[in-house]
Amino acid sequence: MNYSRLVSGGGRLIRRLCTAATETVRPAKKPNLYQRLASLDKTGLSVSQTLNQYIMEGKVVGRSELDGCVKELRKYRRFQHALEIMEWMEMKKIDFDLDNYAVHLDLVSKTKGVYAAENTFNSLPLNAKNKYTYGALLNCYCKELMTDKALALFDKMDELGYITGLAFNNLMSLFMRLGQPLRVHQLVHDMKQRNIPMHAFTYYIWMNSCASLNDLDGVERIYEQMRNEDGDKIDWKTYSNLAAIYVKAKEFDKAELMLKKLEQEVKPRQRDAYHYLLSLYAGTGNLEKVYKVWNSLKSVSPVTNWSYLVMLSALLRLDDMEGIIKCFKEWESRCVHYDVRIVGVAIRAYLTQNMDEEAALVFEEAMKRSKRPFFKIREMFMMFFLERRQLDGAVSHLEAALSEVRDHKWRPSPQVVSAFLKYYEEETDLDGVDELCKILKTHNFDDSWLKTCITSSESSTEIHPTLKED
């Protein structure tokens, strides 16, 4: 036997084992700034604490990196955290770009309301009152359906030369939400008179205005015009918009034709496109295609919490309970950031199938893994227990939700209050109405709010006199 070769090989093996051992004890790479800010629910730190700690570690934080964090947090609707980053930037005297002011204004509106956004706009330096901030304020008014203010501001922007296609799109969206689709046609005509180029989104709103008038021929004429005059603006979103219109009109063959075109356009990393495919194929009732798209997505792009949320919602729409359980367990075993919205879909699915024990187990696990309040999920349980005449369970979740309020702004939805009142009416339980009133008043819900809930209640004609008087 050649012992020298054996010893030599053994030496190489020892060196490899030593190297491997060294690699295993190497400290893990610390998360970057965005990863830390995206994990605030897990760490329990505030935005300012996280940023200050990052700097104390010797890291340099530039405006471009902070802008990137704000952009990502807005993308995932973490508006409060995004605003706190910008407030930290102001405190640290980090200068804003002109478009930063517009982003800040939008975040103020989303977190503090439109009147706070107005005050923010009025306090801006003169050079920051530009087409971006005017446009951001117009967007705020349109989203809040403040028609008079929106039109007045639009006229002011017109005087200043700040009118863009985006400003027109905002007004079009406003009128669509107000149920006035013909106003969209007038605005499109105005844009053409001014020679303002049509955005792709302008075409989408225009198509949807025709769809709301049940004019599918009009939708198809606009699509043909887009192909002929602005063909370079057609992409997967165009086909997604058309498919959604056809799904709503129950024209499923035409919808699937558009979805096939969408699939031809989609690029591997365009997760949003896959998400639309999942939702729209669920809308056509095509479970097989939902799974095919899901497997394709997982093969070409990392799936996110949002991906799982879309997939679970699609499966819920198709009543595929077996698939929901499998998908939820897969997410639960892999997730980095625990998302209570996904938990909510799973619980809704279980409750829909009268599997309340399974729903309760999922909820118990969620409470262990997340520090956030669970208002919407508790409302699901309230509605479930009331529908099944289990008042104690509903009241228990109501009281638990109210105890979690603290700094969070939450009130039971009118639907939940109505469900309680309907239960008491059908059970002729007058003492129960008094108890509900007492619970709500104990938590500082004023008379005007109670009256609003009573007015919206389906059982308002039979409401107990105590609540009417209060």
pLDDT tens digits, 140-182: 999 999 999 999 999 999 999 999 999 999 999 999 999 999 9
Q: Which regions of the chain are under pLDDT 70? A: 1-30, 407-408, 446-470
- Per-residue confidence (pLDDT) for residue 60, from 0 to 100: 85
Could you tell me the pTM of the whole model?
0.80
- Per-residue confidence (pLDDT) for residue 460, from 0 to 100: 41
User: Radius of gyration (Cα) for the chain, nearest Å?
Assistant: 27
**How many angstroms from the chain centroid is the CA of residue 23?**
41
114 vs 150: CA distance, rounded Å: 12
Distances (CA, A) of 253 to 76, 247, 257, 281, 293: 33, 9, 6, 11, 18
- Per-residue confidence (pLDDT) for residue 411, from 0 to 100: 84
64 vs 102: CA distance, rounded Å: 16
- Per-residue confidence (pLDDT) for residue 268, from 0 to 100: 85
Q: Which residues have C-beta within 8 Å of that of residue 31, sequence separation ≥ 6? A: 39
Residue showing tokens 């051992």? 21
142 vs 366: CA distance, rounded Å: 37
Distances (CA, A) of 179 to 172, 210, 215, 232, 416: 11, 12, 15, 30, 27
pLDDT digit string, tens, across residues 425-460: 888 877 777 788 888 877 777 666 666 666 665 444
| Encoded tokens for 98 | 């002109």
